Chains A and B, each alone.
Chain A
Amino acid sequence: MDLTEMIVERTDEGYFAYHRSALTSEAIHRAEIERIFSRTWLFVAHESEIPERGDFVRRTVGRKPLFCVRSRATGEVRVFANSCTHRGATICRHDRGNAKTFQCFYHAWTFDSDGSLIGVPDEETYGPTFDKSKYGLVPVPRMQSYRGLVFVSFDPEVEELVDYLAGAREYIDAMMDAAEVAATFSANGDGNGASPDGWSGPLQVLKGTHQYGIRANWKLLVENSFDGYHLGPTHQTYFQFLKDQNVEVSPSTGSMKLLGNGHAVIEYSGSWGRPIARWAEQFGDASRTQLEALREKIIDEMGDTGYRMAELNRNLFIYPNLFVMDNNATALRVIEPTSVDYMDVAQYELAPRVEDPTVRKVRLESYVTFAGPGGLATPDDVEALESCQQGAASGVEWSLLSRGYFSEEPPMSGELQMRAFWRRWQEQLLAGDLVPAA
């Protein structure tokens, strides 16, 4: 099938559908890697994961093995292709750690944290013109950081990250500002309170990563991650749990906003508590005073925006594969397409760099009660996506995304954000020379 025909939209009847071969075609999957994942900005790490000089994390981004390291010379974050410039073996062989140098185990070529080649055994055998400075580790073509979120792009011509983030910036800013109030508040007048490892940004990634696989196409998790419509039916057992904790449960309501470049956000009410900062019965009494005081402080300092940050939940989508989840707690969800019918997911939980222990406790519980592979809710999302992937092989050709088509104020439970995602996807796939056959 021609890519131009993969989305059918009829404005008069409010119909929008995409062809399910988008979930099953190997050719389309290859085109996505070449035309989307090789051209946009992609999230790679949070700066708090490598707070000290020499700290590193290993990542796979857009199918490419990379590692991020904080330079011992300058303290800046560097991101390199994880491959020796000699014969190609991976250089960084741990998920995280701290290193003075990176030595390839194969022939012992050694690189420093800025990627410079500093050691070649028997270097003289390469002859007099051999120039080590030409064989440093290869940095990703572009790397930029916005408020602690580090992104890379494999396209040297990509626009500036701040421009790419478009309308998503103000949401990132507001979340970070609220977190800064929380961190300062928890530091109890003890200056701004640095985290134990010296990180000074408002949020830090907690230890422990939810890394799991889903046997489904990556776009199904994009749809699911800002889908307000599925909450009731899919997550009934979670809401039952809240009810059993004497939480008054009412359906979430809220809005959706398109933020440009494929980004979008849903912002909505929730029956559950929020560590920044909405106390609810399920948290128990220990954290109540602290959370209510924090809430007041945030509203006091940030006005209406502060109220939204404290009271409402957000699922913020940064196209093509990052969600900043600010609901039961704050987390980053990164979706890595591994093959056409399989994805790897990584979730990192964020918390203020200093946090009251009672609030940290409810934050951790609130998050894993709902989210993650062992939560009361996420496993059912995984089931839904794997189920959709199986259904895509049934011969039924079209998936429908028409919900809320005629809504003047897009609701959080509509599907306009998914329509925008699929349009952006199509536009990027068509921006190449070849139109792959389905």
Chain B
Amino acid sequence: MTRRPESTLERPELRPTDVTRAELEDLLYDEAFLLDEWRMEDWLALWEEDAQYVVPTNDNPHADPDNDLMYINHDYRLLKGLVVRLNSVHAHREYPWSKTRHIVTNVRVAGEDEDGVVHGDAAFMVWRFRNKDRDCFVGHYDVRARRTESGLRLVGKRVTLDAWTLAPYGAVSIVL
């Protein structure tokens, strides 16, 4: 079944896709669940090996990761490094582990590109509680996903933060 993109905002570079919003939601909800359960290896398994996880700085939301300073620009190798870190008792900012809650909503499927990668977006709120810290990250996901034998898998996630600066919390030490 071929459908129009769910977004009412046309993206001419994309063609219609048969991936439904529910499928993309399932992927994002699974991701949120695994992160909140701190099941980092299982979370990594949601990613394809050409992964790119990007967080631009608050002051440069349209950043070009090849030329600009980002908070995070991780390929699969670095995501693996991050998983090792977050499982370590030496990740002092996150050990003892924070409690987090990833809330993902406003999910839309925009279409797929010429390589068959599905593009979509969503809004998020991520709460982080640790000792006296109560941090809330709010923003927008741009997601790219690929249909594989084991289901829809993440290829890209770009996390744009709404706050003007990263304060009062001084770190993005969890996965958003």
Which positions in A face B, CB cutoff 8 Å? 95, 206-215, 234, 236-237, 240-241, 244-245, 342, 344-345, 348-349, 357, 360-361, 364-365, 367-369, 372-374, 376, 378-380, 382-384, 386
Contact = CB atoms under 8 A, between A and B. Distances in A.
**Which of A95, A208, A361 gathers most chain B CB within 10 Å?**
A208
A237 B84 contact: yes
Interface in B64-87: 64-73, 77-78, 80-82, 84-85
User: Which 6 residue pairs across A and B have the least CB separation, nearest first?
Assistant: A213-B167, A208-B69, A374-B71, A379-B171, A379-B93, A379-B173
Contacts of A241: 81, 84-85
A342 to B, nearest CB: 7
Interface residues of B, number: 39
Contact of A236 (B59, B88, B94, B165): B88
B70 A368 contact: yes
Given A357-B66, A382-B171, 4 more contacts: A207-B64, A211-B167, A365-B78, A369-B81
B78 A369 contact: yes
7 contacts: A211-B167, A213-B168, A237-B88, A240-B85, A241-B84, A373-B71, A374-B72
A338 to B, nearest CB: 9
B88 A206 contact: no
Contacts of A211: 57-59, 165-167
B166 A244 contact: no
Contacts of A209: 57, 59-60, 69
Interface in B151-176: 165-173
Given A364-B73, A380-B93, A215 B60 contact: no
A368 B167 contact: no
A207 B170 contact: no
B63 interface: yes
**Which of B63, B68, B81, B172 gathers most chain A CB within 10 Å?**
B81
Interface string B46-67: 0000000001111110011111
Contacts of B63: 207-208
**Which of A241, A245, A342, A360 gathers most chain B CB within 10 Å?**
A241
Given A206-B68, A208-B59, A209-B57, A374 B92 contact: no
A380 B91 contact: yes
Interface in B109-153: none
Interface in B5-61: 55-60
The B interface is mostly helix, strand or loop, or mixed, namely: loop
Contact of A95 (B59, B66, B71): B59
B167 A240 contact: no
Contact of A364 (B70, B82, B85, B169): B70
Contact of B67 (A210, A240, A360, A369): A360
Nearest to B166: A212
A237 B91 contact: yes
Contacts of B173: 373-374, 379
Contacts of B60: 207-209
A240 B80 CA distance: 12
A236 B94 CA distance: 13
A438 B90 CA distance: 36
Contacts of A95: 59
B165 A213 contact: yes
A137 B173 CA distance: 42
B66 A374 contact: no
Given A237-B84, A379-B93, A383-B92, A213 B68 contact: no
Contacts of B66: 357, 360-361, 364
A208 B92 contact: no
B57 A210 contact: yes
Contact of B170 (A213, A240, A357, A364): A213
Contacts of B57: 208-211
A170 B92 CA distance: 37
Contacts of A360: 66-67
Contacts of A367: 69
Contacts of A344: 165, 167
A212 B85 contact: no
Given A214-B170, A215-B170, A376 B85 contact: yes
A207 B69 contact: yes
B172 A368 contact: no
Nearest to B168: A213
A379 B82 CA distance: 13
A384 B85 contact: no
Nearest to A387: B92
A348 to B, nearest CB: 8
A214 B93 CA distance: 12
Nearest to B80: A244
Contacts of B166: 210-213, 373
Nearest to A331: B69
Contacts of A361: 66
**Which of B90, B94, B171 gathers most chain A CB within 10 Å?**
B171
B71 to A, nearest CB: 4
**Which of A360, A374, A380, A383 gathers most chain B CB within 10 Å?**
A374
Contacts of A374: 55, 70-72, 171-173
Contacts of A376: 81-82, 85
